[in-house]
Structures are given as C-alpha cells and as structure tokens.
Structure 1
Amino acid sequence: MASPAPTESGLAVVLVSNGPGELTTWVRPLAERLHATLPLRPRVPEASASLQLLLVPCPNATGQEEQAARPWGQFERILPARLFWSLLLWPRRFGPWPQRGVVVFLGGDQFWTVLLSARLGYRHITYAEWVARWPGWNDRVAAMSKEVRDQLPHHHRSRCTVVGDLMADLSSFARRDDPLPEGEWVALLPGSKRAKLSVGVPFLLETADRLAQLRPGCRFLLPVAPTTSIQELVRFSGPANPIAAAYGSVVAELGNGYLLTESGTRIELIERHPAHGVLSQCNLALTTVGANTAELGALAVPMIVLVPTQHLEVMQAWDGGLGLVARLPLLRRLIGVLLTFWRLRNNGLMAWPNIHAGRPVVPERVGVITPGEIAEEASAWLDAPERLEGQRQDLQALRGQPGAVAALAREVRSLLPRAIESA
C-alpha cells in the first residue's frame, strides 16, 4: 500500500546525505531511532509528521543511493541528487512541503543544508564529524567530539552538543538473528564502483583460491553492494574485464546465492544490504580503501586494506588522493614516487580507522602486491587469534561508547514541537 503524499499540514524531518557509506552508517540508524521514538510517516500512516530523505550532489556518490534506501521503508519521500537544484528553485514542483520542519545534515557539503533549510524555512541541525563549517546558520550542532566543539567560536558553542561517534552504534544494528554457520569466515570487499571492482574482483577471487589452499577449512563471503549486481561481479571476473587476464581465478559456477571458482572455492554472495550482521561475525576482512574500512572499523572486524597500484589506467577513476595522483598527465610512470610522497604527506595512512587514530591500527598493503602475498598474510593473521583480538579491541576503542544515535535523535527532537511526541 502506497504512503500518502506529503501535505502542507503537519511537519517534515528531512535527512540530507550523499554517498552509500553515509546512508548505511549514519542515515539508516538515525532513521530507525526516530521511527522508534516518534510517530512518523510512512511507518505510522496517520501521523502528522513525516520522515524524508534528500540526496545532494557529491563526487563520491554512486548515483544508486535512492535505489539503495528505498527498500528500507523509512522515508515518505526520497529525492535523488540530480533534482537538488530544481528543488531549491521550485520546491513545490515536487509536491507540497509542510510549513514547519527540521533539516538534518548527515553527509555531503554542509552548505547544501544551509541553502535547503533557508529555502524551506525549516530549522537546521548539522552532525559535525570533523568540523562545523556554518555554525551561525544552524539552530543546533551535534558534534562527534569535544575537539569539534572546541573549534567553534565561543559565541556559538552554547548551541553545540557533543553526541559522540555515530559509527560507534553500528554494531548494535548488526543483527545476529541470522548467524553464520560454524567456521573460519573471511569477508571479501572489492568495492562498490566499477573502477574498484574491475581490480578488486579478480584480485580477491585469486586471493580466496590461494587462501583456501593454505587453509582448506576457510569459508568466504562477499557482500554485493547495492550499486552493482551478481551478474556484474561475474563479468568483472571474466574476459569482459581486461584486468582479469592478469589473475588466475575464473568463476566456474554461479549458484543460488553463491559462486564457485574453477579451483573449487565457494564464495557466499550476500545480497541484503547493509550486510552488517554477517560481516560482524567474520574473523577477517580483505577490503579496498574507502567507506568499507569505516564500516568494518565500526563493526570491529579485523581487516587487511589492499591498494594494488599495478593497474594505473583504472586507478585514474578512483576517488580521493589515489585518483588525483593517477590522473597527473605525463607523470604516471612516477606513480611509485608520487604515491609514496602523497602517503607521507598523509602520515602514510589511507584506511579510515588509521586516519582516525593517527597511527596504523589495521595493516595497509599498498603497491605492486599479489594475491599470493595477501593470502599468506591473511593466513598468518588467522593463525594468531590473539593478534586478531588485539586489532578488534583497538577498533572498538577508536569508536568510543555507543549512544551517539540516541543522542543525535534527542537533538533533532529538541527542534520539533512537543505536540508531535503525543500525536
């Protein structure tokens, strides 16, 4: 049954975000908390208030965020990033908007929510992970840490509350009602964008084959990102992907929820998203750089972060510093020197847990690495459960105490009329 269309009466809570990582780790937990504590459409069809999602332009977005969020059933209205400027110019083109509302920044450029809240006449709160850029335009600022609050001018600090790290609550959303079978599980995370998948899929398939030879009892799972499909993953492992020719593993069979390589390695394919429940039960993860490392860190899953630099033509399409370095004209032959310089400028850290800690917490393997080398290293980690537990504890310590989602929800509720809670 379709949700009723938004009306001018009532109130709207508009969550603003950008990419897939922010959606799964910030937006979804907060939306669940708001639904649990307030009567909101579409979960409560007769409610006077609604929960809505607006996606904003961002170079790190995939374009598939709307499709990823829609099955959650949390939002009465979802507007994709391509409509953002039209919304600012002609908001009623997309239906009526309630006269009262709150805009919540949860990713992207903070200025977009400044514009949106001003255009709709709504109140405004920003979740500031590292810095609050426009405190004067916010009714409230929810800071990740005391350091973020201390950066604010003194006359703005009274409207800022330290709520903590939203990622610290992620493990509480990793449901254990579908436990993995017994065994030693390794998660394979090749990325979510075509540029990363073209390298990550063949690299990790061969790594899984080699690790299975070293540890015959090892079991593997691969979460299928909402921005791709099983069929696309299989194509990246075959002749349609020129990079696959550099690796020795081929998909021999695609079954119901799994794939089998020619060497006989079975890899379970996890299509539900987010896959936090199964990921939280894995002994180890092999992952590319990006939002994956933040999610794994929040789940306290030990990991090895992989950046094989031998495929420069593909790395040009990567996001972040690696893509910038790889796109430098006439200098691609100096990629090793440039990459080393870039990493030194960033303290040699590329994975989110390491950047957050300012020191190596999880191993990063950058360079002309091979599946055989990574399989041997993974096997060594799995042979040392005390090392895995040490990394797990370090990751847990980075995220701090849970409770940030509930604290942020309270801040949002403080900007709403009291009448909504008893509606």
Structure 2
Amino acid sequence: MNPEDRSENSAGGSAAERAAIVLVCNGPGELATWVRPLAQRLHRDLALRPLQPEAPIGLQLVLVPCPNATGSEHQVAARMQLFERILPAGRFWWLVLRPRRHGPWPRRGVVVFLGGDQFWTVLLSARLGYRHLTYAEWVARWPRWNDRIAAMGPTAADRLAPRWRSRCRVVGDLMADLSEASRAERPLPSGTWVALMPGSKRAKLQVGVPFLLEVADRLAALQPGCRFLLPVAPTTSVPELLAYAGPANPIAAHYAATNLRLEPGPEGQELCTAAGTRIVLVEQQPAHGVLSQCALALTTVGANTAELGALGVPMIVLVPTQHLHVMQAWDGGLGILARLPILRWLLGAAMTAWRMRHRGFLAWPNISAGRAVVPERVGTITPAEIAEEAADWLLHPQRLEGMREDLRSLRGQPGAVAALAGMVRELLPAATGDAA
C-alpha cells in the first residue's frame, strides 16, 4: 500500500467530532518552501494528527492539477511524515465529486491555499463546507469566497477592492524564514563553493544537467579552487541525473561533460566527470543549509530562484533556448496543448519562442524588485560563456557581496510562517466557534 493510501485510511474515528486543516499545493517548489514550513509550524503550535494520533485536528494535504507539476509530489510529501492524509493531483476531481470516497471528512475545517490555481481551493472549500484562507503572493483572485487573505506584501493587499480589505492581513514572505531555519545544518568544508541547480522537471533536467556539467568542467579549469555541489531535487534521483548526462538523453550529445561516474567522497556521493571535476550530491532535503554557504549558484528559472533569493545566495539564472523543442514546461492552457502528442513539437516550440521574445523578468528576485537584481542569461548561451561569467563574478567578491545584500534587502523580516499559522488557528472551529 502506498503512503498516501495508508494516510487516507488513518482519518477514521468520529469525523463529526473532529476538524481538519487542509493545505492545498501544486508543485515541488511550493512543497519545499511554503507547505513544509507551515506544516512544521502548525505541528509546533497545535496538537495535530498524525504526530499526535489522539488529537482532534488532522493535518491533510491536497495536491491540485498543474502543468508544472512532476507527478511525484505526493511521494515527496509522504516522506515529510507531516500529513494524516495526502491526496495526489490525479484524484482531485474525484475528491470534489465524491469526498467520502477518500474516507470520512470532519464537518468543520480550514482549507489553505499554498500554490496552484486559487480557484481549486475555492471549489474544494465550498464542497467540504470549510473555511478558506488564501496566501496571496501578488493577487487574491477570489476575495468574495475567502474568509481570510494572507498577503505576502502591500502589492497583493492594495489590489483588493475596499470592501474585501478587512479580510486581508499582510504577513510577509514565507521564504523570509528559510535562512533562519538553515543555520542549524552542518558547515561545508573550506573552499569556494558553487551550486549547480538544473531544476526538478524533466524538460529542464534534459538541458540543465549536461549544460551545467560542462560549465562545471570549464569553470574548474578557470578557477581550480572551485568546489561544486548539486542538490538532488526531491522529485528526481541520482540514477536519473546520471541518465540525463548519458546517451539516453539526446541533448547530452551537444555537450562535453558526459561519461559520468558515481564515486564515494568525504561529503557523500559525488559525480565525477571525464575531466575529473567532482560534484558533491546533496540528497538531504531541504538543502538550505549548504546552499546558504555557496558563493554563487548557477540555476534554471523557477522556484529555485525564489529559494536562493530568500537564502541570500548570489546567482546567475540560465535559460538556454537552443533546445526549444524540449522546453515546454510552461503553464496555462497552451502549456497543456503543447504536451499533446500531435501538437507538442510545433506548438510547444512556437509558444516557447514567443514567450522568450515577449518575456519580462524570469527570476523571482527580479520580478519582486521590478529590476535586474540577479543576471538572467536567456538565448543560445554556451557553457563556455557562462563559465567565464561565473569566474569573473568569483574574482570580484565585492560584487557578489553587493548582490547578496540586494537579495537580503528584498527578503523582508522573518515571521511570515508564524503569522500565517496564527491566521489558520483563528479560523479553526475550536478557536473561533462558528463565527465567520
């Protein structure tokens, strides 16, 4: 029996006498940076199942359909061991149509939006008859049906019509707490560490793994003192990373760093390229502690950039567009069409090329600041170009420190996770009775 199936069967007992907190999420980035910290905080503040089996309140997770998801988010969530019940995205519509198919549901509870399409949480909270709390990064799309809105900042709060603003509270950026939590992790050995972050989805890994491996080889030749680490995303594995660097991945033939070997090292498993570059694999999740000690990160777009920004890690954001036919990891209806077997090659390439020509900022720190805080390199970029740029940054630590300070200034004050957990508690029936 799968972990999520076991957790569904654990919600027995007298459902009418119990309550539920249901966190709703879509992808691996949100799971790591929003869901996990809030779930840990709720367990710290309240007696919750499954950590306290006799508690009257259960903590549950519902994953919603999303074209950017990997399909293995429920497995990642199960390994956290924080949730009484986990519903994979593929079961979402059955949950809405027939909730009791997945076991008994308490009569009262709170649904919390933490990623995906906000409408799914509106629908789910209405179907279950639960109160509804939305964490809004930039905009709350359905304020009429939100009991409360937790805004990341004034941007989301100011977009609300005056009639809904009494429901809103600015709690701050949930990622601002990441750097505080990371300090308990082990220190890295001395050296200039560079993080390689190829992404977590197949479309990104196909390009990102061979591209960054060649960058590492070239950067090691330019800066022999460099040391490299690669956090293994929870939705992938070491064997998959090896496969993306080998003949099974047609993109790998365009790059030099192939024939990887997996070898033991003092810090754990290491990838060793044919040129002799050694890359420490970080399989512990989350990897915030080791990432926060890196001088520089080379990363794809996505949640990585928000995570690195919250940790104050200087970065170069990479979007090599020479492989457009595999870069269909976009959202929305067109993203779904681009993944259909007949249309994916033509429409996917055309759509991605259009978005590259009409793009704004792609990295989250730049989007948040409205200016170029971290460099974005988009186009037919080469590993040689990126290695030279990375070497130049490393030769000028004062410039890296300036970028780090800019990122820290965007991060905001810690405390958003505690504030959001407080709003969840306020909505719980046990704390507020039946008041709206």
Name the TM-score, length of structure 2 as normaliser: 0.90
Matches within 5 A, 1:232-311: 232-256=240-264, 257-311=269-323
CA distance in 1, matches of 2:141, 2:397: 43
Deviation at 1:335, TM superposition (A): 8.2
Deviation at 1:288, TM superposition (A): 0.9
Aligned equivalent of 1:71, options 57, 79, 103: 79
Aligned equivalent of 1:342, options 335, 358, 362: 358
Q: Report the secondary structure of 1:60's partner residue.
A: coil
Aligned equivalent of 2:161, options 149, 153, 156: 153
Aligned equivalent of 2:172, options 151, 164, 168: 164
Task: Determine if contact 1:29/1:173 at 8 Å carries over to the other structure.
Answer: no
CA distance in 2, matches of 1:245, 1:302: 30
Task: Determine if contact 2:191/2:227 at 8 Å carries over to the other structure.
Answer: yes
Deviation at 1:180, TM superposition (A): 1.1
CA distance in 2, matches of 1:387, 1:244: 33
Matches within 5 A, 1:226-237: 226-237=234-245
Aligned equivalent of 2:223, options 215, 221, 228: 215
Deviation at 1:312, TM superposition (A): 2.3
CA distance in 1, matches of 2:82, 2:286: 14
| Corresponding position: 1:318 with 2:334 | no
CA distance in 2, matches of 1:342, 1:96: 48
Aligned equivalent of 1:358, options 370, 376, 392: 370
Task: Determine if contact 2:68/2:329 at 8 Å carries over to the other structure.
Answer: no
Residues 329-388 of structure 1 deviation map (CA, whole Å, 9 limit, x = unaligned): 49969987x566313xx2xx2111111111100001111111111111111111111111
Judging changes above 3 Å, is the alpha-carbon distance between structure 1 residues 126 and 340 closer, same or farther for their aligned structure 2 residues?
closer
Judging changes above 3 Å, is the alpha-carbon distance between structure 1 residues 278 and 148 closer, same or farther for their aligned structure 2 residues?
same
Deviation at 1:176, TM superposition (A): 3.2
CA distance in 2, matches of 1:342, 1:313: 18
Aligned equivalent of 2:130, options 99, 115, 122: 122
Aligned equivalent of 1:201, options 209, 212, 220: 209
Aligned equivalent of 1:5, options 3, 11, 18: 11
CA distance in 2, matches of 1:128, 1:33: 19
Provide the residue aligned with 1:410 in structure 2.
422
CA distance in 1, matches of 2:30, 2:39: 12
Deviation at 1:5, TM superposition (A): 3.1
Task: Determine if contact 1:285/1:301 at 8 Å carries over to the other structure.
Answer: yes
Matches within 5 A, 1:137-152: 137-152=145-160
Provide the residue aligned with 1:378 in structure 2.
390
**Structure 2 portions without partners, runs of 5+:** none
Provide the residue aligned with 2:39 in structure 1.
31
Query: Counterpart of 1:254 in structure 2: which amino acid?
Result: L
Q: Report the secondary structure of 1:221's partner residue.
A: strand
CA distance in 2, matches of 1:194, 1:418: 44
**Structure 1 portions without partners, runs of 5+:** none
Provide the residue aligned with 1:134 in structure 2.
142
Identical residues among aligned pairs (%): 68
Task: Determine if contact 1:13/1:101 at 8 Å carries over to the other structure.
Answer: yes
Residues 102-123 of structure 1 deviation map (CA, whole Å, 9 limit, x = unaligned): 1111111111111111111111
Judging changes above 3 Å, is the alpha-carbon distance between structure 1 residues 313 and 147 closer, same or farther for their aligned structure 2 residues?
closer
CA distance in 2, matches of 1:160, 1:335: 36
| Corresponding position: 1:97 with 2:113 | no
CA distance in 2, matches of 1:143, 1:69: 25
Residues 42-68 of structure 1 deviation map (CA, whole Å, 9 limit, x = unaligned): 111221111110001111111111011
Q: Report the secondary structure of 2:61's partner residue.
A: strand
Judging changes above 3 Å, is the alpha-carbon distance between structure 1 residues 82 and 328 closer, same or farther for their aligned structure 2 residues?
closer
Task: Determine if contact 2:322/2:380 at 8 Å carries over to the other structure.
Answer: yes
Judging changes above 3 Å, is the alpha-carbon distance between structure 1 residues 330 and 164 closer, same or farther for their aligned structure 2 residues?
closer
Q: Report the secondary structure of 2:115's partner residue.
A: coil
Q: How many aligned positions are there?
A: 413
CA distance in 2, matches of 1:335, 1:18: 22
